[in-house]
């Protein structure tokens, strides 16, 4: 009986050690950092574009396209 208890205790210690090693590992940390950087850059870009539209109106992207359409179909 004592032998069985010692064996079970050793298996539990092995599981705990493996769990700690997995939790202490940082193998997927680079992916999370990259995802956060991409999301931050998208948000900053959207804010910058919204600020430019608020500052200049419709002059930024679509003015030449609208003028071209007006010249062709008017």
Residues 21-66: tens digit of each pLDDT: 888 877 767 788 889 999 999 999 999 988 888 887 766 566 666 6
Number of domains in the chain: 1
Q: Which domain holds residue 6?
A: 2-73
Token pair for 20: 């700690």
The span from the CA of 12 to the CA of 71, in Å, is 79
- What HEC string does the chain produce? CHHHHHHHHHHHHHHHHHHHHHHHCCCCHHHHHHHHHHHHHHHHHHHHHHHHHHHHHHHCCCHHHHHHHHHHHC
At 33 the pLDDT is: 83
């Amino acid at each position: 009986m004592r032998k069985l208890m010692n064996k079970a205790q050793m298996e539990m210690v092995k599981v705990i050690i493996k769990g700690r090693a997995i939790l202490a590992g940082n193998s997927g940390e680079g992916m999370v950092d990259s995802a956060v950087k991409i999301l931050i850059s998208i948000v900053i870009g959207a804010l910058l574009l919204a600020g430019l539209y608020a500052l200049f109106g419709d002059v930024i992207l679509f003015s030449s396209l609208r003028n071209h359409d007006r010249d062709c179909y008017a």
